Structure 1
Amino acid sequence: MARRIKITTPSTGEVHAELTDESPRTAQAIWDALPLEARASTWGDEIYFSIPVDAEPENPREVVKRGDLGYWPPGSAFC
């Protein structure tokens, strides 16, 4: 079951997204950490921020589509 989340930034306002079941343990860990506040950084075209989640890689992909949400385990980052 996908869960809807809201990400708010000064530059974009509210953006609605979904945590899908593709990586259910990771999605649940992120859901359980909400709500949270963080300062975003960029790396190339990616936007990311550290979150208080420690999850092992689950169905990892090296390439994602524009607009996809992801979790980067080495940096405990939401991308």
Structure 2
Amino acid sequence: MDIRIRLSWPAGQLTATLGETPSATALAAALPLVATARTWGEEVYFDTGLTLALEDGAQQVVEPGTVAFWTEGSALALPYGPTPISRGTESRLASPCNVLGRLDGDPRALDTVRDGDPLRVERA
């Protein structure tokens, strides 16, 4: 069964559908959580307080709108366009990340997240 989450910040909100991966299950068990949003190019990321192992199938280049877990930073990474290390228009994460699922709707809504915004994640 897929896991649905809602992400909200002062200027907007999005929902996401997560698959059944160890990281997605661990994240769902930790909800709700409130974190401080950070931006890196066209990516929003934030600390989850979780320590998770890198899974088989981890990826560094993903589609915009991918919900990923950055194991090196204990953070959820939400790319919606190029990052400072992207080649061209790709979404390249800082390092390989566990893929948890996808944002529902237009991931460019994340463009309204400002560095330092409070970000809430809860079950949808």
TM-score w.r.t. the length of structure 1 is 0.90
Runs ≥4 residues deviating over 2 A: none
Aligned length: 76
What amino acid sits opposite 1:50 in the alignment? D
Amino acid paired to 1:55: L
Instruction: Return the structure number with greater relative CO, CA threshold 8 A, min gap 6.
Output: 2
**Deviation at residue 18 of structure 1 after TM alignment:** 1.1
- Structure 1 gaps of 5+ residues are none
Opposite residue 73 of structure 2, the aligned amino acid is G
Matched, 1:3 2:3: yes
Residue 38 of structure 1 corresponds to which residue in structure 2? 35
The Cα offsets for residues 9-56 of structure 1, whole Å up to 9 and x where unpaired, read as: 1122x21111112xx111111011100000100111110000021110
Q: Which amino acid aligns with 1:30?
A: L
Where 2:24 maps in the other structure, the secondary structure is: helix
Q: Quote the residue 2:50 is aligned against.
A: 53
3-state SS, counterpart of residue 58 of structure 2: coil
TM-score of the aligned structures, taking structure 2 as reference length? 0.59
Q: Which has the larger radius of gyration?
A: 2
Secondary structure of residue in 2 paired with 1:62? strand
Give the superposition deviation at 1:71: 0.2
Match of 2:22 in 1: 25
Root-mean-square deviation (CA, aligned residues, Å) is: 0.9
**Aligned-pair identity (%):** 37
Which of the two has greater strand per residue? 2
SS of 1:53's partner is coil
Equivalent residue number for residue 85 of structure 2: none
